[in-house]
Structure 1
Amino acid sequence: MLSILVPVYNYSISSLVTEIHKQATHAKINFEIICIEDGSNKFVLENKSVVDGLEHASIIISSKNNGRTKSRQILSDTSKFNWLLFLDADVMPKSDRFIIKHLENIDSKYEAIYGGFAYKTIKPQKNKTLRYNFGKNFEEVDAKKRNLKPYQIVISANFLIKKEIFSKINSQIKIKSYGLDNFFGALLKENKVNVLHINNEVYHYGIEDNKLYLNKVQEFITLLLKLYNDRMFLEHSNKLLSVFVSLKKYKLNYLLSFFYKLFNNLMERNLIGPKPNMFILQLYKLSYICFKDLDS
């Protein structure tokens, strides 16, 4: 009935797989848990020991880093059930009915079901405030709002999808990069996949430090531009790209690019500091994409 699939890279999954196994067993369904160590060099033996001790659970050890897209395809190809529940290694279900709540929607007309993201209301470490604040402001979104634009906030850390649909969409992604959730969402839209959002969140624990996350923002924008310029992003719901295209149409991208050249150091100083401003982050992204486009 359900294949629960977890790609892992240098992260302990002991608590996650134990909790998921307990919930799936309690739900009294046919299930399997398959994890893949994607070229990890930390926690490998610990993770293997825990997974090997659970019924209906297995772990694949890859000596090389394939990236999430290929790792998920390996997991899908290895799975035996028609519904796939993908979970990132650095999450934990918010509810003890997490599996059951996903199962309640499995016989609906929808082909992909996104449970959502949540962040605990705790004061993050000073060097991890950027990722935390972004998550609280832009990822922790109620399902009612997400369903208004179902392809916009598609967080792959917690989603249920039909196996045939996943293979069809995932096989179209040939790029290894950070930020591919937006591309996956665009392909769901292009292929008219019926998507449902529900309030069945996982807590996100693997929060990067500010500098690393800012580097990932730049990597994501580089990817976004490549997809746009290669005309691979014909159907999308990405706000940043939509605003950028409008600015470019009226030649205002030159002004934003110049703004980035003048103020990027000041913006970055704020963003990697202990109190990053979310408006500055949005301005940074917009000016950076304009600069990057003109500089290429």
Structure 2
Amino acid sequence: MTEATETFVDNAAWAALDGKGATPRLSVLIPTYRDDPSALLKALDERGVDAEIVLLDDGGGDADLTRRMAARLEKLKLPARLIVLSPNEGRAKGRNRLAKHARGRHLLFLDSDMLPDPKDFLTRWAAVAADDVAVAFGGFTLDQTPRRPEHELHRSMALKSDCTPAPERAREPEKHVFTSNLLVRRDVFETIGFDEGFAGWGWEDVEWAMRVVRFHPILHIDNSATHLGLDTASALAAKYEQSAANFARVVAGHREVVSAYPSYKAAKALKVAPLRGVWRPGLKAFALNEAAPTPLRAFALRLYRAALYSDAV
């Protein structure tokens, strides 16, 4: 396997903090792969917050985008570092790498296609960090996400299962953890990092939370960010197909937990259904049919995902 190489771009505030030998309270860690995080970086640049930003260009290979990200970092008031990586490492390895560059006691993981909802988003997170909590998730919404016809299926599914208020998330704290808006104390992450055996999309954050919750409480709060990066139906189906191996990895390590999840129960029920290879493609085809009603398409895509996962249960 090719060893990854790093190059760095630090802004003036990062260098100045280095010169003082100081460390910030909060490190904001953002991996990106061929996405422009400029809107997020601009929204995070709050005055008076004891924080830094570390951005990872995870082998995107787009030189123009890398230059734009570097130029944006130079304008930030907050200390900021851009890590340019080659080749791509993926979601789990990339976030573990980001944590190694962070200097704060608390790490705030954000996806590059997020946008804070409250104007004092980072200030609120700094206050949570000041209470020295071990792990906290702030939630996400679609409040600022533009409505596009090709994204209606993903919007419907996300609103039903992912965009939930803190009291509801707290009932199953490990299930509702995503790296899109996640605060972790450094010593917790140094003890329990992301499992780099996960590949591609899906489940590495929930599996991480399953391990963490054995030793630390997971706090759920309402300090949300909008997920801007909704997928088309075909892209979402491809992610589900890609996630099947990751789901199998979760089942192998945490069957006692995941067996209570609706996705597992549905997969278990479909495992005994005959001729899966015949009707499973039909579910996908119906879900991709934009002329069909969105609620029925969402139901079909959930069944398709469960049929994919049935091999793991």
Which TM-score band applies after superposition, normalised by the shorter structure?
Answer: 0.7 to 0.9
Residue in 1 aligned with 2:215?
192
Q: Give the distance between the partners of 2:145 and 2:38, measured in 1 at CA.
A: 23
In the alignment, residue 181 of structure 1 is paired with which amino acid? D
Distance 1:101 1:49, change over 3 A: same
Q: Give the distance between the partners of 1:115 and 1:144, measured in 2 at CA.
A: 11
TM-score by length of 2: 0.82
Equivalent of residue 261 in structure 1, options 241, 263, 277: 277
Q: Give the distance between the partners of 1:165 and 1:104, measured in 2 at CA.
A: 18
The C-alpha deviation readout for 1:232-282, integer Å capped at 9, x for no partner, is 2255356145415864xxxx7222xx2633422331122122244322222
Q: How many residues align?
A: 280
Deviation of 1:283 (Å): 2.0
Residue in 1 aligned with 2:71?
49
Residue in 2 aligned with 1:76?
99
For structure 2, the 5+ residue unaligned runs are: 1-24
Q: Identity across aligned pairs (percent)?
A: 20
Equivalent of residue 233 in structure 1, options 245, 254, 270: 254
Deviation of 1:286 (Å): 2.1
For structure 1, the 5+ residue unaligned runs are: none
Q: Give the distance between the partners of 2:120 and 2:277, measured in 1 at CA.
A: 50
User: Is the CA contact (8 Å cut-off) linking 1:52 and 1:59 kept in structure 2?
Assistant: no
TM-score by length of 1: 0.86
Q: How does 1:58-69 map to 2 (within 5 A)?
A: 58-69=81-92
User: Is the CA contact (8 Å cut-off) linking 1:76 and 1:84 kept in structure 2?
Assistant: yes
Match status 1:278 vs 2:311: no
Deviation of 1:125 (Å): 2.7
User: Is the CA contact (8 Å cut-off) linking 1:112 and 1:194 kept in structure 2?
Assistant: yes
Residue in 2 aligned with 1:4?
28
Q: How does 1:125-274 map to 2 (within 5 A)?
A: 125-170=148-193, 172-179=195-202, 180-189=204-213, 191-228=214-251, 231-234=252-255, 236-237=257-258, 239-240=261-262, 242-243=264-265, 247=269, 253-255=271-273, 258=274, 260-274=276-290
Distance 1:203 1:122, change over 3 A: closer
The C-alpha deviation readout for 1:78-101, integer Å capped at 9, x for no partner, is 111110111100010011021122
User: Is the CA contact (8 Å cut-off) linking 1:2 and 1:82 kept in structure 2?
Assistant: yes
SS at match of 2:253: coil
The C-alpha deviation readout for 1:161-208, integer Å capped at 9, x for no partner, is 10121232225443222112221222223x322101111111111112
In the alignment, residue 236 of structure 1 is paired with which amino acid? V
SS at match of 1:86: strand
Q: Give the distance between the partners of 1:115 and 1:61, measured in 2 at CA.
A: 28
Residue in 1 aligned with 2:43?
19
